[in-house]
Amino acid sequence: MNLGSSRSKAVTIGLAAAVAGGLALGIPVANADTPASVNPSAPGVGDGETPGAPSLSQRALASTPTGSTVTSPAWIGGATLNAGWEYSNHGPHRAWDVGLWLGTRIYAPRSGIVIGLNDGVANNPAGVNPGSNAPSNWVLLCHTVRGTPVSSLWQHLSPGIPLTVGQRVAGPVLDSTGHAIAGTGTLLAFTGNTGNSTGPHLHLATMKGCEKPTVAGNNSPAAWSRYNYLNKPETLVWEPSRIWRRPVVDASELMAAYKARGRSVAVLNLRKATGAKSRSTKANKSFRILIKQLKASINYPNTNSRPSKKFLKKLAKRTQDLGVS
């Protein structure tokens, strides 16, 4: 996911504060309008990845399963999720690859400010992927979610992005029930097939913070570190509190509770991070079962019920819902 190159006309802007606004995240599909300069074609696979069956480690909390139909105020209609938090080969992806027709209109799902963009890269010829270092067209927005700066990256776009750095974008209009109306936010771009792409699609990532981009490539190391990625782009809309208050588990305390067959704050934090709802008198027994299930889900070498620190750290690398101390 190389954001910069000599062909880039990336621009940067300092940002003291982002603009809060209405909710909306969208994905227009097949019958979307197409600019005259773009010939529509079928949605592609994604970032050089052949889709496969969802891996066991793609837990519902960590990733919407590959092959799911995803909707959003950012596009009109539904579209297929070609790749989510992980690729089918277990490689990290930390974004959504959404299968959309070439030239699909993409709209702002939430108000914000354009803090970076790259334009001018031609769409790849059919069947040609120039590789991982190839430049693409992209837009980087800064939003405010619960008072927290959150950036969203929209990548592999067609040339001709109708935005400028520093421009404010409006989120979607809400209907009488308070739901966002798809396609009513500011037009961001048209989907494309630029950069490391095997076919037309949208790469959408969300991150904590609004680091300005550099012409040298990716954003600052902080913006692109593992724990700054938000594992669900729909957090722009749903704002689940667990994203902002990531439980931190004390590995020693958890092991002590495991040995004593008792309960502790560490056990409850792990349950919260993994979505385990049971907190009954049988919680410790189900906790041991949970450990086995979690180990199986990330293909851990052993599937016993012992919550070792090594296992917890590996689990934490697979999801940002958990911290380990």
Specify the CATH number for the domain of residue 232: 2.70.70.10
Same domain, 214 and 265: no
Q: What is the pLDDT of residues 165-192, one digit of tens each?
A: 999 999 888 888 777 888 999 999 999 9
pLDDT at 119: 94
Identify whether the C-beta of residue 112 lies closer than 8 Å to the C-beta of residue 142: yes
Same domain, 239 and 250: no
305: left (phi over 0), alpha (psi -120 to 50) or beta: alpha
Identify whether the C-beta of residue 42 lies closer than 8 Å to the C-beta of residue 101: yes
Identify whether the C-beta of residue 39 lies closer than 8 Å to the C-beta of residue 102: yes
Buried b / exposed e across 175-190, counting CB within 10 Å, b at 16+? eeeeebebbbbbebbb
Running DSSP on this structure, what letter comes out for residue 311? Answer: H
Residue 206 lies in a domain: yes
Estimate the crossing angle of helix 251-260 against helix 309-318, to 10 degrees: 120
Token pair of 89 as six digits: 């080969």
pTM to 2 decimal places: 0.57
| Residues contacting residue 10 through CB under 8 Å, at least 6 positions apart | 3, 4, 116, 117, 118, 213, 214, 215
- Which of 198, 220, 243 corresponds to the end of one domain? 243
Identify whether the C-beta of residue 195 lies closer than 8 Å to the C-beta of residue 157: no
Same domain, 279 and 151: no
Instruction: Give the C-alpha separation, 98 to 156, whole Å.
Output: 11
Residue 221 lies in a domain: yes
Instruction: Give the C-alpha separation, 182 to 293, whole Å.
Output: 38
pLDDT at 284: 60
pLDDT at 158: 96
pLDDT at 186: 97
pLDDT at 235: 52
pLDDT at 237: 54
- Counting Cα atoms < 13 Å in the Cβ hemisphere of 290 gives 24
Which one, of 15, 32, 127, lies nearest residue 79 by Cα? 32
Distance linking the first and last C-alpha atoms of the chain: 31
For the chain, residues with pLDDT lower than 70 are 1-66, 83-94, 146-147, 213-247, 273-285, 317-323
| Residues contacting residue 310 through CB under 8 Å, at least 6 positions apart | none
- Which of 209, 243, 277 corresponds to the end of one domain? 243
Identify whether the C-beta of residue 197 lies closer than 8 Å to the C-beta of residue 161: no
- Which of 222, 243, 264 corresponds to the end of one domain? 243
Same domain, 233 and 126: yes
Task: Determine what percent of the chain falls in helix, strand and coil, rounding each to the nearest 5.
Answer: 15, 20, 60
Identify whether the C-beta of residue 86 lies closer than 8 Å to the C-beta of residue 92: yes
pLDDT at 209: 78
Amino acid at 28: P
Same domain, 95 and 216: yes
Range of the domain at 268: 246-324
Please state the φ and ψ torsions of residue 294, each to the nearest 5 degrees.
Answer: -65, -40
Q: How far is CA 201 from CA 136, 185, 224, in A?
A: 12, 20, 21
Same domain, 120 and 210: yes
Instruction: Give the C-alpha separation, 116 to 215, whole Å.
Output: 10
Domains identified in the chain, total number: 2
Same domain, 236 and 283: no
pLDDT at 153: 86
Same domain, 115 and 227: yes
